[in-house]
Chain A
Amino acid sequence: MPQENKTAFFKTDDPLFSYSVDTLLMGLGLLIMGIYLNGIAALYHAAVGIVSAVICEYVSFKLVLKKNTLGNMSAFSVGLLIALSVSAACPLWITASASAFAVLVAKLPFGGTRNAPFVPVAAGVCFAQLCFPLYVFTYPAVSGGLHPVFNNAEGFVKGTSLIDLLESGKAVSLNIFNYTSLLSGKYPGAIGTTCMLAMLGIVLYQLIRRPKRLYASFGFLVCCGIFAAAFPRINTGRLSSVIMELSAGSLMFVALLVLNDPVTSPKRPLQSVLYGAVAGTLCMLLRYFGKINEPAFFSVLLVNAFWPILSRQTATDQKQSNEKRKRLKKAAKKDKKLSAGQKGKNTITEVLDDEKENEA
């Protein structure tokens, strides 16, 4: 096991550090597209989100007399992801308060990122969505250019997002121009969630760097796709429904960057796919029957809450490799047989001992 360098600020040996750096790099791509689409306001949001998360983490860890975990960069990634999932038009203090909530309520009380039962990003965004829905769900019309698009700024034009269209049963006709608009993110939405081209880039990046992270995303997206195809909310066909549902709101963003958080998501492939499928089902149910405009983040929190109950064995299974488990199962079977037939030899140690002696 690599020794952790205690003197350095950046904990490069820490797996959480490399994960956070990867998330930051992916988020940076989304931020660049966000700045291109929503103006300089996107950059302000990102800066405020990161600064707020870092300050909250530093101060709170100082107050509880613990060493802060800024070195693993998780606070930076939390701040950036929260900034990317709010509207560019909402005031900056909303981003700051969402970041503060994520760190102070969803992260610190549980002892830091490693022990947090909920994804801090999802908790922060849900807080903003519940407390300030009017601001968070007011998206500016996409026009391009580096001009401010805040809600109270002059010349602010409100845009209609894809999710609003879906809720009212309206569809976008799928011709080449609209496909291009979908790919480049020219439909109104949160800062980093609209550009599907950038999302494809993230998929490629994860395929190269961390392919295992995509299992949960795969389960989530497939489940959402099946729901969209089976129960379309628009009349222009099932394919159109699937494309619109998947590219509307923060669904892709949540699937690729939030759901597969290394702390809360399971490690094994099948478990990950199931985890994603449960989250996807919850997300689509909330979309169809819920009152909240963008329920993807809520579905992540719900699956975080219920997953430990659904898979009690996950924690123990992760620790044991397949080979060891097979051996133990064999031993347990023998243990049962022996305990039924022979008295005195009913412990696994003795069974294993006998086996080794026989082999010798």
Chain B
Amino acid sequence: MKKKTKRKHLKLSTALFKGGYIHNPLLTQLLGLCPIIMAAISVKNALCLSAVFALLLVVNEVIASIFLKNMSRWVRVSLYTVISAGILALVLSKINQEASAALGVYLPLLCVNAIIVVRCEKFAIRTNVLNSVYDAVANSIAFLVVAFLVGLIRQVLSTGSLFGLQTPFKNPGMAMPFAGLVVLGFLAAIHKWSVMNFYPDELVDTFSLKGAFEKPVLVDPGLNTKQERAHKKQFKEERQEFDRIRPRYSIEDVESSLEEKRAQKKKEEES
């Protein structure tokens, strides 16, 4: 009998599909929203943000997967910020001044972006360099797509122009933060609808209202199918256990069970 060989490296397509689309950090976990909501008011801003974010994420994940595996968590988390700040200090001077002025404080704030910390902690420190690079690329592309769409929609609606083309409707209010939240909400809804319809098996509700009791399953793109199955099984078992333990105080349940018992007693008496 042939032994199944474990795949050591993650495929880029798998990383893109799972990390970038199914578990898009912006649309499923709502991580790192600040730059998108506040600064992505045009396509140019969105592209600039995405480029800097990609650079920070790739470098952080590579460093985390090579050097930071044996450190304690509190040191690692502070190191991510220090590394990002160092990269930004080098990069900021080379970015076009007009672009960096348009982004304001939200460009330097990328160094404390939650996605960087989460991806490094959840993935990069548990895997090899190549996998973490793939993951960083997938997440950067996910960020780019969302930022681009938000920037595009807000630019069209707020300025009434896109690449020189004029549109009849123009509402300067769409450059305000609330519009960013509204657009992002619609994108998240479309994303969830597409996952529900095309990949229902992959759907994991990370924002269920029972979040206080349930363990959200955050399947890393690096995990192989066996581990994934184990994760899902564990989640299912925990949920069943929770349902069993949870006290049911609704009067309807009590009354129905009482009726059942009465019916049983009657049957016994009759017999």
Taken together as a complex, chains A and B put the C-alpha atoms of A327 and B254 apart, in Å, by: 11
Is residue A231 contacting chain B, with contact meaning CB distance below 8 A? no
Interface SS majority for chain B: helix
Interface SS majority for chain A: helix
| Given A109-B186, A349-B257: A130 in contact with B173 (beta carbons within 8 A) | yes
CB distance from B188 to the nearest CB of A (A): 10
| Given A109-B189, A131-B171: A353 in contact with B176 (beta carbons within 8 A) | no
| Given A109-B189, A349-B257, A349-B261: A324 in contact with B251 (beta carbons within 8 A) | yes
- Find chain B residues with CB under 8 A from A327 CB: 251
- Find chain B residues with CB under 8 A from A356 CB: 258
Structural contact, A352 and B173, CB atoms closer than 8 A: no
Structural contact, B254 and A131, CB atoms closer than 8 A: no
Contact pick for A109, options B171, B185, B250, CB 8 Å: B185
Is residue A320 contacting chain B, with contact meaning CB distance below 8 A? yes
Which of B242-271 touch A at CB < 8 Å? 247, 249-251, 254, 257-258, 261
Give the A-B pair count, Cβ closer than 8 A: 38
Structural contact, A131 and B182, CB atoms closer than 8 A: no
- Find chain B residues with CB under 8 A from A324 CB: 251
- Find chain B residues with CB under 8 A from A320 CB: 250-251
Taken together as a complex, chains A and B put the C-alpha atoms of A356 and B258 apart, in Å, by: 10
Is residue B43 contacting chain A, with contact meaning CB distance below 8 A? no
Which of B149-173 touch A at CB < 8 Å? 171-173
B182: nearest residue on chain A (CB-CB)? Answer: A105
Taken together as a complex, chains A and B put the C-alpha atoms of A132 and B172 apart, in Å, by: 8
B255: nearest residue on chain A (CB-CB)? Answer: A352
Structural contact, B185 and A328, CB atoms closer than 8 A: no
- 17 further A-B pairs in the complex, CB-CB below 8 A; given A109-B185, A332-B249, A352-B258: A97-B171, A109-B189, A130-B176, A130-B178, A131-B171, A131-B172, A131-B173, A320-B250, A320-B251, A324-B251, A328-B251, A328-B254, A348-B249, A348-B254, A349-B257, A349-B261, A353-B258
B residues near A (Cβ < 8 Å) are 171-174, 176, 178, 182, 185-186, 189, 247, 249-251, 254, 257-258, 261
Q: Which 10 pairs from chain A and chain B are nearest by CB?
A: A131-B173, A349-B257, A324-B251, A130-B173, A328-B249, A131-B171, A349-B254, A348-B254, A105-B182, A352-B254
A residues near B (Cβ < 8 Å) are 97, 105, 109, 127, 130-132, 319-320, 324, 327-328, 331-332, 348-349, 352-353, 356
A–B pairs, 27, beta carbons within 8 Å: A97-B171, A105-B182, A109-B185, A109-B186, A130-B173, A130-B178, A131-B172, A131-B173, A131-B174, A132-B171, A132-B173, A320-B250, A320-B251, A324-B251, A327-B251, A328-B249, A331-B254, A348-B247, A348-B249, A348-B254, A349-B254, A349-B257, A349-B261, A352-B254, A352-B258, A353-B258, A353-B261
